[in-house]
Amino acid sequence: MNIKGKTVILRPATPDDRRAVFEWAALSDVTSAMMGPPTFPDNPAPSWEEFCEDHKAHFFDGSAPELGRCYIILVEGEPVGQVYYNDIEEREGVRRTEMDLWMRAQRYTGRGYGSDALLTLCEHLAQTMNVRQFMVQPSARNPRAIHAYEKIGFVRLPLSTAEASALWGPNDYADSVYMVKTIE
Ligand SMILES: CC(C)(COP(=O)(O)OP(=O)(O)OC[C@H]1O[C@@H](n2cnc3c(N)ncnc32)[C@H](O)[C@@H]1OP(=O)(O)O)[C@@H](O)C(=O)NCCC(=O)NCCS
């Protein structure tokens, strides 16, 4: 079932979308904003095999909604990016998950689509799956992502990376900025 945001529509991804989602991440003009040289020599872009290992089939076939699901972000019917949530876990009675997103190309950034998509998926998960806390972890070298997430109520955890990873799980970047949004 599609999910309606302010401007975007989220369409559950299918196995046919998996290759495109990989190419948007690893082989597009937004790749260098989150991985690979010159800014992220410490986080090289994954190969297709590595991507599939990290983004397993259930993200694309809906077979395990508690373990994560990917959505294609549509604007006027056109795919402009992807957003996903990871496994849902319960900690001290609160259901929570980690999320990640990227646009398919630079020309689709800065138009409000990413923040709309992320907020829309958070609200959907709160309403339908009782998820109450949402975490993203951009690199400190990605100020655009940090700003986009702050706009929709994500707050930086005032913790060291070691403390934040003990609370929320391993960091993707050496300088990951753990940001959390709560929906009561
Ligand atoms: C990060 C990303 C998903 C955000 O989605 P988006 O649709 O571009 O986000 P929005 O348009 O809602 O917001 C971007 C904001 O950052 C601002 N911005 C742009 N460049 C910036 C910079 N260098 N520093 C700070 N803010 C910046 C924009 O002005 C905009 O803010 P505004 O609405 O107050 O003007 C998208 O930019 C993207 O795919 N980037 C490349 C991949 C990536 O970094 N993914 C995130 C991995 S954690």
Q: For residue 130, what is the DSSP state?
A: -
Q: What DSSP character marks residue 40?
A: B
Per-residue pLDDT at 88 = 98
Q: Which two tokens stand for residue 97?
A: 């998950």
What's residue 97's pLDDT? Answer: 98
The structural domains of the chain, ordered by start, are 3-182 (3.40.630.30)
Q: What is the pLDDT of residue 110?
A: 98
Checking DSSP bridges between strand 133-136 and strand 78-85, what pairing results, if any?
Answer: unpaired
**From 109, 152, 173, 179, mutation site for ligand 1 pocket: most ligand atoms within 8 A of C-beta:** 109
Would you write out the chain's pLDDT as a tens digit for each of its 184 residues? 999 999 999 999 999 999 999 999 999 999 999 999 999 999 999 999 999 999 999 999 999 999 999 999 999 999 999 999 999 999 999 999 999 999 999 999 999 999 999 999 999 999 999 999 999 999 999 999 999 999 999 999 999 999 999 999 999 999 999 999 999 9
CA of 149 to the centre of ligand 1 (A): 8
Residues listed for the chain: 184
- Between the CA of 63 and the centroid of ligand 1 the distance, in Å, is 31
Ligand 1 close to Cβ of residue 105 (< 6 A): no
Task: Please indicate whether residue 62, judged by its CB atom, sits closer than 6 Å to ligand 1.
Answer: no
At 70 the pLDDT is: 98
pLDDT at 40: 98
How much is the pLDDT for 140? 97
Provide φ and ψ at 179, rounded to 5°.
-125, 135
Specify which residues 82 forms β-bridges with. 72, 102
- Predicted local confidence at residue 86, as pLDDT: 98
CB-ligand 1 contact for 56 (6 Å cutoff): no
